[in-house]
Chain A
Amino acid sequence: AQSVTQLGSHVSVSEGALVLLRCNYSSSVPPYLFWYVQYPNQGLQLLLKYTSAATLVKGINGFEAEFKKSETSFHLTKPSAHMSDAAEYFCAVSPRGTGGFKTIFGAGTRLFVKA
């Protein structure tokens, strides 16, 4: 069975500092992987996705994530945090060939950005 674990329910960084949000997955074969962001009082928005092309995936708003098969990880990073990055971030995993029906979301990590 697949699962996804986000380490840290809350992460706090200073404006301009590196953002690192951790995600580890469990799957018998490399799945599709996603990061979503949820701003206050809004639905989730896709940040980026890994579908087996390049292992380093670039997304919107300067975020990127690297798929590391040996570590079963898909951590999200951004070199320099902005105040507008404060939101909740969800990692998700979906088995290949299922069209997303079996997508599993992590518990989420809330990012705080200090001025």
Chain B
Amino acid sequence: GENVGLHLPTLSVQEGDNSIINCAYSNSASDYFIWYKQESGKGPQFIIDIRSNMDKRQGQRVTVLLNKTVKHLSLQIAATQPGDSAVYFCAENGSPGGSARQLTFGSGTQLTVLP
């Protein structure tokens, strides 16, 4: 079946550097994408989203880029801080074969910020 997957399972960055987390999706009908951050013992926390009619969206220290041609999504975190250490999931909110909407998650990337 169609799925959303992440390129790298782990990413380590120095504090203050920029982080880039990548995600590939396979459902070409997907029109809405979300990035979540999950810290240990907590539920996923919404970070930023983007719709398929956009290529880029910026938030506070975060930017999401969408390349529909190659079905690729990325999350950029500027000036990474220790509090950014977490697992990051991309998700698509398409409708694979159905009329209702559900989130399909990637496998997640563990981001570790080094002091």
Q: Do A and B bind each other?
A: no
